[in-house]
């Protein structure tokens, strides 16, 4: 099993290209099930989750063709991939695949919309809370689907004539459920209005792609999304938006380790709230052409309180990284997690590096320390694993992060990008 070895104390200086967003690429790939034509996606990151989803889509009959590197980009970063599903050959998504990645459960919506039936295993993924599928199933039921759960599988059937447009208000904001209901509603008869919809940029990106395929989606980016159903969707070409979580992660790495790094191929508007928190910690962030420049030279890290919230609030997917940053602040900070109930599993691992963190319910109190010291640590989930990398960059001595398969799910060539900016980071295979 691979590990990541980090020798801390080096400032980061250089350029880091930001990859396409994993959280946008996955639902976009799943949208290929909605049409018999080819959907071409540019800027798709090379990640374990993307590779797994290609296998899952192949099981349903999607033909996948990879074009290689994108134009005017260094070898190895992001790809153009063509997805063609002439015929859906299997409407079952088996446990052995779905259990490895929660987002693969989202095939339920397109399969149901296009074929009128689907049998999908209940999902897996990072162990950061129960994340129930009730919202997904209630949304599809509102479109007329009959839903049964049997032996760990969701069996869904559309009424004769297909799904029917409806007005439905989610009792709780859910990005995944918004994705699924929006995709299913594109082929429903009549108009669907989704209330309390997720407003994340990845939802907007999916809506833009669906519209390019011939769907009629309006209101994405607001809490009310309207979808006028069409009889069929066509192929399209769409570019995956930049990864705002990767952008915020590297910005926090610079804020913690010090230095001057330009983050290319990204957009500040995707994560305004997180960037403001990083600025309050003492880093300087400038918008430059096609990206951001993050600078911190010599100044201490100031304590900042944050509360995770759905977009446009502070992203839960940056909570662990920001906690890493706060471990070396000049005072006491607080982080309150409102999205997932078990997303503080990184606390004990950060403590191994010398961090002083105490928990009270869903709030972490972080007492800044003057220095961290390297130690062996273990990744517990995707975002927690990269928080340990960030802390290791600033810690004295050597930090070794195990279970880095979590990192490979969401960060494209992380060690290479950091090494090019002067960090001492290497992958060690046992």
Tell whether 6 and 86 lie within a shared domain: no
Which residues, in sequence order, are bridge partners of residue 284? 295
Tell whether 13 and 27 lie within a shared domain: no
pLDDT of residue 339: 87
Tell whether 314 and 229 lie within a shared domain: no
Tell whether 198 and 57 lie within a shared domain: yes
Distance (Å, whole) CA 127 – CA 59: 25
Q: Which residues of 216-255 are buried (b: 16+ CB within 10 A; e: fewer)?
A: ebebbbebebbbebbeebebbebbbbbbbbbbbbbbbbbb
Residue in 372, 268, 263 with CA at minimum distance from that of residue 326 = 372
Tens of pLDDT along the chain (430 residues) come to 789 999 999 999 999 999 999 999 999 999 999 999 999 999 999 999 999 999 999 999 999 999 855 444 444 467 999 999 999 999 999 998 888 888 889 999 999 999 999 999 987 543 434 446 889 999 999 999 999 999 889 999 999 999 999 999 999 999 999 999 999 999 999 999 999 999 999 999 999 999 999 999 999 999 999 999 999 999 999 999 999 999 999 999 999 999 999 999 999 999 999 999 999 999 999 999 999 999 998 778 999 999 999 999 999 999 999 999 999 999 999 999 998 766 788 899 999 999 999 999 999 999 999 899 999 999 887 777 899 999 999 999 999 999 888 888 889 999 999 999 999 999 998 7
Distance (Å, whole) CA 253 – CA 270: 18
Angle between the 175-185 and 22-30 helix axes, to the nearest 10 degrees? 30
Choosing from 190, 216, 236, the residue where a domain stops is: 236
Tell whether 264 and 170 lie within a shared domain: no
pLDDT of residue 98: 86
* Domain range enclosing 284: 2-18+242-429
Tell whether 11 and 79 lie within a shared domain: no
Choosing from 221, 236, 251, the residue where a domain stops is: 236
User: Considering its fold, how many domains does the chain have in total?
Assistant: 2
Tell whether 251 and 158 lie within a shared domain: no
Is 317 annotated to bind a ligand? Reply is: yes
Tell whether 14 and 29 lie within a shared domain: no
Whether 85 is catalytic is no
Catalytic residue among 85, 126, 209, 421: 126
Is 225 annotated to bind a ligand? Reply is: no
Tell whether 227 and 253 lie within a shared domain: no
Tell whether 283 and 220 lie within a shared domain: no
Is 135 annotated to bind a ligand? Reply is: yes
* CA-to-CA separations, 96 to 55, 85, 110, 300, in angstroms, rounded: 12, 22, 20, 48
Distance (Å, whole) CA 389 – CA 306: 21
Is 376 annotated to bind a ligand? Reply is: no
Tell whether 272 and 382 lie within a shared domain: yes
pLDDT of residue 279: 97
Choosing from 236, 271, 291, the residue where a domain stops is: 236
Is 386 annotated to bind a ligand? Reply is: no
Is 155 annotated to bind a ligand? Reply is: no
Is 339 annotated to bind a ligand? Reply is: yes
Q: Which residue carries 């993924």 as its tokens? A: 125
Is 174 annotated to bind a ligand? Reply is: yes
**CATH code, domain carrying 187:** 3.65.10.10
Is 216 annotated to bind a ligand? Reply is: no
pLDDT of residue 126: 39
Tell whether 26 and 14 lie within a shared domain: no
């Amino acid at each position: 099993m691979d590990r990541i070895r980090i020798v801390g104390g080096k400032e980061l200086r250089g350029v880091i290209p930001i990859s396409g967003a994993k959280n946008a690429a996955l639902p976009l790939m799943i949208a290929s099930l909605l049409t018999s034509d080819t959907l071409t996606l540019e800027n798709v990151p090379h990640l374990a989750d993307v590779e797994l989803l290609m296998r899952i889509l192949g099981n349903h009959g999607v033909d996948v063709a990879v074009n290689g590197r994108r134009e005017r980009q260094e070898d190895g970063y992001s790809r153009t991939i063509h997805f063609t599903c002439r015929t859906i050959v299997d409407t079952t998504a088996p446990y052995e695949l779905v259990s490895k990645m929660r987002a693969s459960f989202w095939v339920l919506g397109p399969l149901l919309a296009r074929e009128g039936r689907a049998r999908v295993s209940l999902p897996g993924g990072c162990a950061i809370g129960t994340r129930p599928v009730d919202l997904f199933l209630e949304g599809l039921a509102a479109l007329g689907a009959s839903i049964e759960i049997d032996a760990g599988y969701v069996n869904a059937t559309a009424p004769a004539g297909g799904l029917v447009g409806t007005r439905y208000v989610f009792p709780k904001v859910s990005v995944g459920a918004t994705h699924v209901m929006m995709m299913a509603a594109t082929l429903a008869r009549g108009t669907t209005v989704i209330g309390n919809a997720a407003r994340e940029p990845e939802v907007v990106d999916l809506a833009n792609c669906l519209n390019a395929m011939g769907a009629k989606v309006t209101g994405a980016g607001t809490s009310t999304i309207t979808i006028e159903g069409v009889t069929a969707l066509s192929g399209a070409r769409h570019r995956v938006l930049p990864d705002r979580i990767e952008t915020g992660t590297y910005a926090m790495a610079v804020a913690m380790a010090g230095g001057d790094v330009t983050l290319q191929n990204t957009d500040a508007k995707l994560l305004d709230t997180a960037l403001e928190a990083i600025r309050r910690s003492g880093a300087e962030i400038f918008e430059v052409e096609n990206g951001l420049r993050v600078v911190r030279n010599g100044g201490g890290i100031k304590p900042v309180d944050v509360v995770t919230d759905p977009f446009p609030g502070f992203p839960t997917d940056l909570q662990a990284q920001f906690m890493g940053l706060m471990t070396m602040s000049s005072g006491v900070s607080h982080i309150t997690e409102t999205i997932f109930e078990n997303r503080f599993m990184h606390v004990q691992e950060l403590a191994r590096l010398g961090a002083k963190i105490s928990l009270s319910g869903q709030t972490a109190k972080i007492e800044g320390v003057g220095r961290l010291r390297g130690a062996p640590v273990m990744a517990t989930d995707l975002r927690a694993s990269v928080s340990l990398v960030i802390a290791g960059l600033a810690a004295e001595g050597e930090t070794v992060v195990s279970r880095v398969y979590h990192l490979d799910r969401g960060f494209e060539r992380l060690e290479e990008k950091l090494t090019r900016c002067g960090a001492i980071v290497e992958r060690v295979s046992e």
